[in-house]
Amino acid sequence: MTALSKSSILEKLAERKLVVSPILSADQIGASSVDLRMGTVVLVARAGAQSHVDPSAYRQVIRKPGDHDSIRAKQQKHERFDIPFGQSFLLHPGSLALVPTLEWIYLPYDLQGVVTARSSWAREGLNIATATIVNPGYRGIVTLELANFGDIPIMLYPGLRLAQIAFYDLRFANEELDKQPSESQFNMSFEPSAGNIAKGDSAFVPDTTRRH
């Protein structure tokens, strides 16, 4: 895979072959990446909501959009905060928060995105915990899984550039590009949400809803 340079990123943005919107300042586009800003929603796991995370509890949820059991399960696990511009959110040490990017992303089928924390924030203890890959064909916001690995709380404000996304050209890969719509459970997301950790692994997770 080949990483796109600044000129290639600008060319694809101008031709609408790649979408990152809104881009609020020219310096948001670096030598080989685009900075991503914090959105206005924060989801934080509630310590007293459940005793542990069990994949079997996810087998029957998130079957269809708007399902009340799915929504209720998400509400019990996470507490949502809507943070207006100009106000702040305090991320405590050892805490994990799901935060949407301000930007909406569209990737064509020949590009893959890789999201990382900006180094200036990483040196303060702020890290993007896991999900760094954005699949070809993805459309939606990017959910940043922010973790505070430092020893002191970090004050975060909507609009801050917390992360960066680099783009990799897949056209020279040996296998033919898959041009089917992305099957990610997060495709077309407009705000962060809890994922279904049992998706695709039902053969290995017991169905606790069945009566013996």
Residues with a catalytic annotation lie at 145
What amino acid occupies position 53? V
State both tokens at 206.
């017991």
Alpha-carbon span 89 to 38, nearest angstrom: 11
Alpha-carbon span 100 to 80, nearest angstrom: 12
**Kind of pairing between the strands at 133-134 and 89-91:** unpaired
Element containing residue 33 per DSSP (H, E): none
Alpha-carbon span 202 to 179, nearest angstrom: 27
- The answer to whether the Cα torsion of 8, 14, 18, 21 is positive or negative is positive
- What are the distances in angstroms from CA 86 to CA 3, 43, 48, 199? 35, 18, 30, 38
